[in-house]
Structure 1
């Protein structure tokens, strides 16, 4: 009850499975224009880990840090599948992102997956650290503005004002990445300006608040992977947990806020009454 709208990704899926009646209103990170969107994610390894750049099969037998139940957990599961491996072929170590660089320095892990700025921090602070892969369209980023359904039903005008405001902020970030990075240094304690600027260049690639079929697919594919690999006991119909009408209205009434973005492909564009079919 302390917040009416939150920004959340993979944890929303677990919450819905456990019975929370949540709906996604818009993106906060991801792409409406493409199926793959993981430019802000990377796998970083120690130089002496035996993990080879570009060779995901070399992850076999390694200790890899991830934050369970988050987008970086989803990312490593997808990378393992891409490399022909199963979760049981590695040891996944549940680690908060700010602790991953320390764990790598201490040789408690061989590698970690994370979102920026932590991969960039590790490359600068861990001698010999190697970026094994960044992005790669292994997943579609799952990050939404989310609220409880009863509150959404009663607060349409407030939601639309909020979405206009954050869309304006997104556009400012895309057009002003260096000043936006400076803001980030005040938000994340200890974040250096040079690291923030590098991270922002990746972040703005996913700063697209719009909704399309690609975002429905992103949630469906995340849900399917987590269930198929045994991390979720059940699934749900993603159509029941999107409420796109407010974002669609903002897109229609304020096209200038998105004029600097690529257009949504015709086969991914959605409208009122849209139903996603896998």
Structure 2
């Protein structure tokens, strides 16, 4: 579906941030803080998945005083942020853009740790026979990405590098699975996407790389995000959780073959595909620094300047610097 506008109303902002169902979920309330149950949101990829499967994360938190670790699976970043916003989880991870939308919508999140990304695990694709040979050629054409995702920011940056804006293309707001189907059927001209969809499209759907990931300053970041109450009431547990995530990230970087095997078991994707994608992935978690805050502020300012989010966002107000690194 093509967006009617590239500007988001307050209601649309809530939806893009994953907070559209906030009123419904708020009634669920929070868990028993006195029980020191740490609730962690994860998706079937990356370090959070590894942390759940290896079990070292749980052991580390139990040693640090947690009574229990509960893992809750989410299909994507927006619903994970929704759960974080209403206190359904204490910790989770997403790319750089979703928390900006959530912060603009008033979610009580904190940036607790960062993964600096090379951007190699994604990029912009077009069909091999599309006749589109540069970003400038996308003018007037259909460009697909998931609104509120890291791909949204990449689209903005890349178009600006070619002297274009989102108003110069036909923006198609689709989740990865729907976009993959549309791309395979020739319904979109360009697609901003990440692995494993990025590699799958090249292998199965005659996709050609229009712009490789990491070009035009599109590396970006991913974040471990914490609920404000968890950070305020359990700072030692949060620090221990980040230590454990960093240790799992280091393990993944040193054992990429084993990481690919784990992801193949969990996702059902081929081991050959995942060996390829894992080689390009970034796993290391590091502390939130002034440099990290400034980089994320640049993204937030860009979205506000373009009117994509209706209110300015101050990243420093949501930065947690209580973790100094493992």
TM-score range with shorter-chain normalisation? Answer: 0.7 to 0.9
Q: Which residue of 2 aligns with 1:15?
A: 102
Following the alignment from structure 2 to structure 1, what is the Cα–Cα distance between the partners of residues 303 and 130?
Answer: 27
Q: Which residue of 1 aligns with 2:90?
A: 4
Equivalent position to 1:177, from 248, 252, 256: 256
Q: Does 1:167 align with 2:246?
A: yes
- Show CA shifts across 1:242-272 (max 9, x none): 01122x1xx2xx4xxxxxxxxxxxxxxxxxx
Structure 1 unaligned residues grouped into runs of 5+: 32-36, 255-278
- Show CA shifts across 1:184-217 (max 9, x none): 12333x421111111111213x533333333212
How do residues 200-211 of structure 1 correspond to structure 2 at under 5 angstroms? Answer: 200-204=278-282, 207-211=284-288
Following the alignment from structure 1 to structure 2, what is the Cα–Cα distance between the partners of residues 210 and 184?
Answer: 26
Deviation at 1:92, TM superposition (A): 1.2
Distance 1:180 1:81, change over 3 A: same
Structure 2 unaligned residues grouped into runs of 5+: 1-86
Decide whether the 8 Å contact of 2:264 with 2:274 is kept in 1. Answer: yes
Larger strand proportion of the pair:
2
Q: Does 1:230 align with 2:307?
A: yes
Following the alignment from structure 1 to structure 2, what is the Cα–Cα distance between the partners of residues 76 and 114?
Answer: 10
Q: How many residues align?
A: 238
How do residues 57-206 of structure 1 correspond to structure 2 at under 5 angstroms? Answer: 57-127=136-206, 129-134=207-212, 135-188=214-267, 190-204=268-282
Decide whether the 8 Å contact of 1:44 with 1:111 is kept in 2. Answer: yes
Following the alignment from structure 1 to structure 2, what is the Cα–Cα distance between the partners of residues 115 and 214?
Answer: 25
Indicate the larger mover: 177-186 or 112-121.
177-186
Following the alignment from structure 2 to structure 1, what is the Cα–Cα distance between the partners of residues 320 and 302?
Answer: 23
Match of 1:245, SS? coil
State the Cα RMSD in Å: 1.6
Q: Which residue of 1 aligns with 2:316?
A: 239
Match of 1:219, SS? helix
Distance 1:209 1:99, change over 3 A: farther
Higher relative contact order (CA 8 A, sep 6+): 1
Extract structure 1 runs of 4+ deviating beyond 6 A.
Answer: none
- Show CA shifts across 1:14-68 (max 9, x none): 12111222211101x325xxxxx4222310100122211xx22111121111000
Q: TM-score, normalised by structure 1?
A: 0.80
Q: TM-score, normalised by structure 2?
A: 0.69
